[in-house]
């Protein structure tokens, strides 16, 4: 993992990061990422830390893993209404599909842990169309808020960091995964 790549990408893509009002920096170390990853268990998504970067914006760092998957023409997808994500692929790869309309959309319950702790208001459904691309270790993908996305194929597994830009602070400011000792 190249932390400099992540920081540079965020500063270019999200000017709010470069204008942050905070007078300190927040470190998310490889050791913390590894500890949270080891705690995934049956979960596929864990927040590591949510940082207030000023001007009413949060940046959250999470880690996700998807097991082997081969869709049969239908791609299960999610759409985050308020939160932009930057995926940094750590290990493995697959076919990521973004864009296109969703069918059979269901909103996540607003009081669910997924909404209140991880992703903010979001829905899921079956992606119709979209743009497919192969992603693998070292790749970075920026998924703006409102863009449906999902994997249609994962040969073995894919592990990625998700840097979530939360301009409305819908995620809990200052949250730190309890397995981390800060």
Tens digit of pLDDT for each residue in 71-111?
Answer: 877 899 999 999 999 999 999 999 999 999 999 999 999 99
Chain segment 48-72, per-residue pLDDT in tens: 999 999 999 999 999 999 999 888 7
Whether residue 14 is predicted with pLDDT greater than 60 in this model: the reply is no
pLDDT level of residue 23 (50, 70, 90 thresholds): low
Longest pairwise C-alpha distance within the chain: 50
Q: Name the one residue in this structure whose structure tokens are 């709010």.
A: 16
**Contact between 166 and 82 (Cβ < 8 Å):** yes
**Contact between 68 and 155 (Cβ < 8 Å):** yes
Pairwise CA distance, residues 86 & 164, whole Å: 6
Full-model pTM: 0.84
Pairwise CA distance, residues 35 & 175, whole Å: 16
pLDDT level of residue 159 (50, 70, 90 thresholds): very high
Mean pLDDT within 38-50: 87
Chain segment 162-179, per-residue pLDDT in tens: 999 999 999 999 999 999
Q: Which residues pair with 134 in a beta bridge?
A: 95
CATH topology classification for 3-166: Jelly Rolls (2.60.120)
Chain segment 135-148, per-residue pLDDT in tens: 999 999 999 999 99
Mean pLDDT within 18-45: 80
Residues in CB range of 24: below 8 A, 6 or more apart: none
Whether residue 10 is predicted with pLDDT greater than 80 in this model: the reply is no
C-alpha torsion sign, points 21, 22, 27, 32: negative
Chain segment 107-138, per-residue pLDDT in tens: 999 999 999 999 999 999 999 989 999 999 99
pLDDT in the model for residue 17: 45
pLDDT in the model for residue 71: 80
Pairwise CA distance, residues 60 & 181, whole Å: 17
Q: How many other CB atoms are there within 10 angstroms of residue 142's CB atom?
A: 17
Pairwise CA distance, residues 97 & 102, whole Å: 12
Token pair, residue 83, equals 């939160």
C-alpha torsion sign, points 20, 26, 30, 32: negative
pLDDT level of residue 44 (50, 70, 90 thresholds): confident
Residues in CB range of 156: below 8 A, 6 or more apart: 68, 92
């Amino acid at each position: 993992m190249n932390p400099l790549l992540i920081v540079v990408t965020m500063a270019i893509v999200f000017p709010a990061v470069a204008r942050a009002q905070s007078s300190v920096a927040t470190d998310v170390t490889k050791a913390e990422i590894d500890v949270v990853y080891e705690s995934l268990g049956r979960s596929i998504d864990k927040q590591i830390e949510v940082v207030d970067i000023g001007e009413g914006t949060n940046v959250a760092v999470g880690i996700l893993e998807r097991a082997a998957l081969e869709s049969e023409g239908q791609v299960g997808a999610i759409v985050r209404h308020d939160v932009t994500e930057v995926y940094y692929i750590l290990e493995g790869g697959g076919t990521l599909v973004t864009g296109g309309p969703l069918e059979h959309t269901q909103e996540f319950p607003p009081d669910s842990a997924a909404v209140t702790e991880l992703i903010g208001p979001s829905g899921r459904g079956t992606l119709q169309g979209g743009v497919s691309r192969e992603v693998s270790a070292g790749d970075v993908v920026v998924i703006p808020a409102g863009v449906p996305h999902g994997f249609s194929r994962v040969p073995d597994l894919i592990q990625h960091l998700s840097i979530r830009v939360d301009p409305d602070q819908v995620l809990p400011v200052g949250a730190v995964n309890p397995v981390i000792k800060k």
